[in-house]
Chains A and B, each alone.
Chain A
Amino acid sequence: MPEWFLYFVALPMALLIVASAVYGLYWASQKGQLQNLEEGAKVIFDHEEPIGRPTDQILNQPKTAKPLKT
């Protein structure tokens, strides 16, 4: 394996990746991503699927009078 690859490609890329991780954390703090964390937990809910309503209840449901439709 050519040495120049290690010194001029692999090592710089590794440093760039570390730098990008540091930048990612910095960017997150600048954009307010690390504040209001409890609000952050709620972003996956909305008016269609609000907090408090479970989804994906498809097994072991009680039978009703309606006939099975498949």
Chain B
Amino acid sequence: MASSLTASLNPASSPDLAKRAELSAIDASTKAPALYFLGSAVLWLLVGTVFALIASYKLHTPEFLGNIEWLTFGRARTLHLNAVIYGWSVNASFAVALWLMARLARAELRHVGLLFIAAAFWNLGVTVGMVGIALGDSTSIEWLEFPTYATPILFVAYALIGAWALITFRFGRAKHIYVSQWYLLAALFWFPWLYSIAQIMLLFEPTRGTVQALVNWWFAHNVLGLWFTPIGLAAIYYFLPKVLGKPIHSYYLSVLGFWSLAIFYNWAGVHHLIGGPVPVWVQTAGIAASFMMVVPVIVTGLNQHLTLVGAASALKYSPTLRFIVFGGVNYTLTSLAGSLMAMRSWAEITHFTHYTVAHAHHGMYAFFTMVMFGSIYYILPRIILKEWPSAKLISLHFWATAGGITLYVVVMSIAGIQQGLAMNALPVGADGHAGSPIPFLTIVANTIQWLELRTVAGVVIAIGHIAFAINFTWMLVKPRQPGTSEPTLFRHAPDLEVAP
């Protein structure tokens, strides 16, 4: 133990760092904070799923729970968004990031107390924010709806995690910085800047007019591109080769992918405002950047595909691989779709329709959430030294979520295109003159069938989440096998007894 705070922060003063820590010791050191973040994440996932179903149902059946003021659609949908983003996704990100950083640094976790306090503050902030939204204090700025009495709490939590990450990186024993480490450090570095600028320029010292919209979408898109995407990619770049026992096909491509993402992604946020009241040159810059993103996306997709090729039979055995591959494929698809959506001619149809909602769920669920699920399936057994209790629940989780999100994205994409075409339509009358546009309420009525299908998709996804939560809890409470102290229980595969 270091005798003083400064000594504990300086790698040069620690005598026990001469050897690289064994994987078992590294994993064991991450157990407590990882469990705290993972447990919180799963709870918020369930909360977010409940609000998702309520919001989805209300959109096609508005009288549902209509007399409960704190569940009006505006609040229910906002509660869903914030619970799944700041509750589930960010907590899962922290857990996966800290476990990966410990492994990549080849060093046991230090200053674990920082992480505990951070986790507590983060959950407190999210809870206060959620209650605030339910009470009607939403700021009504998308992705930033938490009232300003909640966000400083989140900021404290984040500062602690950032400090911890810096310390851990300094203590790293690996000479080569693996590509996942680059992505994680970059994400941890970028996020506080995004969040503080957005809070200051929109809420604490608000800017004027359409600049607000620009700041809003700079923030929201960059949370996707500079926080969630790097963390998802960091996970794929680690778990894909680890599960297969094969290094990444072209490591050069992964480094290229990282730097091109860093250069191009942050310009793209303006594509949310195409056709809106912001200067055309700003929109064009966003469109150009959105197309340049094809470079890192294709590079990453190619790399992952070429790594998997020839070893795809492992999909049968590894739950992690199933989720990671599903996530990786959908990363490529959703990103390419995003580039297309940035075209003015495409945006003219799909902007401000359900299509955007489909795309958002494609990215945050079919890519990010599925990658997080895969990561959790890998991490949890290694930190608590137990196996997943039920293979059937794992399968149910995978098929329900994969099937559910596919149905969701397909249904809402069709709905959005139909909406967009109808809203733009100017039918020509029999006399050759332009007729009147299709009445808005007609378009709304035509959309209801798709919204009902979306609720069905949501129920299927919820079933998957319940299966996951049951397996997760069961695994935590079941007794550990006597004598297990190995870091990776699945080394001796033929000895395992798991029902197919």
Contact = CB atoms under 8 A, between A and B. Distances in A.
A56 B176 contact: no
Given A34-B255, A37-B252, A42-B247, A69 B497 contact: yes
B490 interface: yes
Interface residues of A, number: 45
Contact of B498 (A25, A50, A52, A59): A59
Contacts of B103: 44
B320 A59 contact: no
B495 interface: yes
Contacts of A17: 193
Given A13-B193, A37-B252, A57 B493 contact: yes
A56 B241 contact: no
Interface string A44-55: 111011111111
Contacts of A50: 245
A55 B242 contact: yes
Interface string A17-60: 10011000100100001101111111111101111111111111
A44 B488 contact: no
B378 interface: yes
Nearest to B497: A68
B378 to A, nearest CB: 6
Contacts of B241: 41, 44-45
Contacts of B17: none
Given A45-B247, A55-B245, A61 B176 contact: no
B487 A59 contact: no
Bin chain B's interface residue count: 35 or more
B321 A56 contact: yes
Given A1-B208, A63-B497, A40 B176 contact: yes
Given A41-B241, A44-B241, A59 B317 contact: yes
A57 B314 contact: yes
A48 B23 contact: yes
A55 B241 CA distance: 9
A20 B189 CA distance: 10
Nearest to A45: B247
Contacts of B263: 21
A56 B251 contact: no
A55 B318 CA distance: 8
Interface in B189-203: 189, 193, 197, 200-201
13 contacts: A10-B197, A20-B189, A36-B176, A41-B241, A54-B244, A54-B245, A54-B317, A55-B245, A60-B316, A61-B496, A61-B498, A64-B497, A70-B389
Interface of B: 22-23, 103-104, 174, 176-179, 189, 193, 197, 200-201, 205-208, 238, 241-248, 251-252, 254-255, 259, 262-263, 311, 314, 316-321, 377-378, 387-389, 391, 394-395, 478, 481, 487-488, 490-491, 493-500
